[in-house]
Amino acid sequence: EVQLLESGGGLAQPGGSLRLSCEASGFTFSNHAMSWVRQAPGKGLEWVSGVSNSDGSTNYADSVKGRFTISRENSKNTLYLQMNSLKAEDTAVYYCVKGGWGNYYDYWGQGTLVTVSS
Amino acid sequence: QAVVTQEPSLTVSPGGTVTLTCGSSTGAVTGGHYTHWFQQKPGQAPRTLIHDTSNKHSWTPARFSGSLLGGKAALTLSGAQPEDEAEYYCLLSYSGVWVFGGGTKLTVL
């Protein structure tokens, strides 16, 4: 059974940083691209970033480019999202999603809430 | 960044058929956009229904189908059930950068 377990969410101050993690199980993590998607309270879904399985290539939405960094550690079956220079508009539930970069999207985690507020 | 458009809301009768569409500000949606469709119910994580325009996952009910229609991507629900009431999102790829539509709230009434 595929499982994606996000962690690391919480309260951060504007201008601060947080690092999200997503621990994957039930599939060969190193063989699949992975992505982050977020959803602000009461709003729609927004694709944030993706990382390939092959060479670690990355892509970002314009709204987070230069502030967020996606990475993966295949030996630990874990995906990360380093979020710097946080803004109030980054407040959202962040979902880890299996897929992207030429792989189709299939499984979603349950999400972790990030709140940016002073 | 491209803008992806969906109907804000649609209503379908139980047992009826409804088509949700997904358009792109850059022109016609094609197979190269690798269209995905997701279903989200209140308080739950999204669930993937369709990938690569028309391919279903093992858990996707047979009453859902995906296609290209008149320059847009389309999700057709044939034989709507009460449990299909949800928000539906499409997702398009633009050379590796993905953009979601704003979502369609589907009411089964």
Residue B96: its pLDDT value, please?
87
CA distance B97 to B19: 26
Chain segment A2-51, per-residue pLDDT in tens: 999 999 999 999 999 999 999 999 999 999 999 999 999 999 999 999 99
Indicate yes or no: CB of A47 within 8 angstroms of CB of B34.
no
Question: Are B55 and A107 within 8 A, CB to CB?
Answer: no
pLDDT confidence bin for A102, thresholds 50/70/90: confident
Count of CB atoms situated within 10 Å of the CB of A65: 11
Q: How far apart are CA B57 and CA A108, in angstroms?
A: 13
**Top-confidence residue, A56 or A83:** A83
**Is residue A59 within 8 Å of A49, Cβ to Cβ?**
yes
Which pLDDT tens digit goes with each residue over B38-85?
A: 999 999 999 999 999 999 999 999 999 999 999 999 999 999 999 999
Q: Which residues of A80-116 are buried (b: 16+ CB within 10 A; e: fewer)?
A: bbebeebeeebbbbbbbbbbbbebbbbbbbebbebeb
Compute CA distances B42 → A11, A36, A44, B61, whole Å: 23, 20, 12, 19
CB A80 within 8 A of CB A12: no
pLDDT score, position A38? 98
Number of other residues whose CB lies within 10 A of the CB of residue B70: 9
CA triple B88-B90-B92, angle to 5 deg: 170
Q: How far apart are CA A8 and CA A56, in angstroms?
A: 22
DSSP type of residue A17: -
Is the Cβ pair B51, A50 closer than 8 Å?
no
CA–CA separation, B85 and B105 (whole Å): 8
- Among partner residues A61, A106, A110, which is closest to B45 by beta-carbon distance? A110
CA-to-CA distance for A108 and A88, rounded, in angstroms?
A: 25
Band of residue A57 on the pLDDT scale cut at 50, 70, 90: very high
Cα B77–B82–B86 angle (5° rounding)?
70
Q: Do A107 and B48 touch (CB under 8 A)?
A: yes
A100 touches chain B (CB under 8 A): yes
Number of other residues whose CB lies within 10 A of the CB of residue B60 = 18
pLDDT at B94 over 80: yes
